[in-house]
Amino acid sequence: MSEKIRYRDGYRGGMEKYDFSLTSIWRGFLLLAIPITAWVIGAFPVVYSIAYLIKLTDFTNPFQTFLFTFVLVFEFLLFIILETLIPGIFIRITKLRVEEGEHEISIKNKNFFRYILFFILYRPSLKLVGVLPLLPLRIRFLKLVGLKIGKSSILAGSEIIHDPYAIEIGEQTLIGGYSWILAHIAEEKLMVKKVKIGNNCLIGGGAVIMPGVIIEDNVIVGINSVIPKNKVLKSGKTYVGNPAREI
């Protein structure tokens, strides 16, 4: 008997399945259990130390209350660091990444499942590290989850880098603020393709770089420009617009 497939109303994409198979149930459980475990491990030292300090602090004493407040700010910084790095370590240890190619939009598809799990672990940490201007921590986190970036390249700190494991950035390259670089797109299927940005490039603020884009050396991409998927930007040229064109 063929397997029954239920589609979302109006959906015209791939095999987006909703069922109660063991595979779907198990993977659905993992999508909850793994991130929650990572977040709990990150939060535990902070919660434990605060609970311990509350017992030791005499809040009728202004000096002790001031010290407690000072430590509380430090604990907040520690919380950001741990909740950024612990999920990153989970991603690194499990080698969580999506293979290049097209994948069915279904939890039963291994790569789509890995994409969802990566997203759940990655995006909250990326947002959290953006609360304060902790650029060294942001770069350390991005490298931890797979980004390849030259030591002399600069990130603005407000850029959004999706799928960092599938993105390479060369040396002496500047990625402008609020730019988007993504190696995936969901159309009829989930498509993943590497993005390569060369040396001595300038990516303007608000630019969008789509999957499969190759930017050769010494290229300038204008502010708010959109580079369509699979486009090759030739060395030494300047591109602006939506879609971006050479000028």
Element (H, E) at 135: helix 135-144
pLDDT at 18: 57
Ordered domains of the chain (ranges, CATH): 1-133 (no CATH), 147-247 (2.160.10.10)
CB 79 within 8 A of CB 49: no
Nearest to 105 by CA among 164, 168, 192: 192
Low-confidence ranges of the chain (pLDDT < 50): 1-14, 16
pTM as predicted: 0.87
pLDDT at 153: 96
Nearest to 31 by CA among 124, 107, 94: 107
Q: Residues with Cβ < 8 Å from 22, sequence gap 6 or more?
A: none
Give the sign of the dihedral formed by CA 131, CA 174, CA 153, CA 190: positive
Largest CA distance in the chain: 74
pLDDT at 183: 96
pLDDT at 14: 46
pLDDT at 17: 53
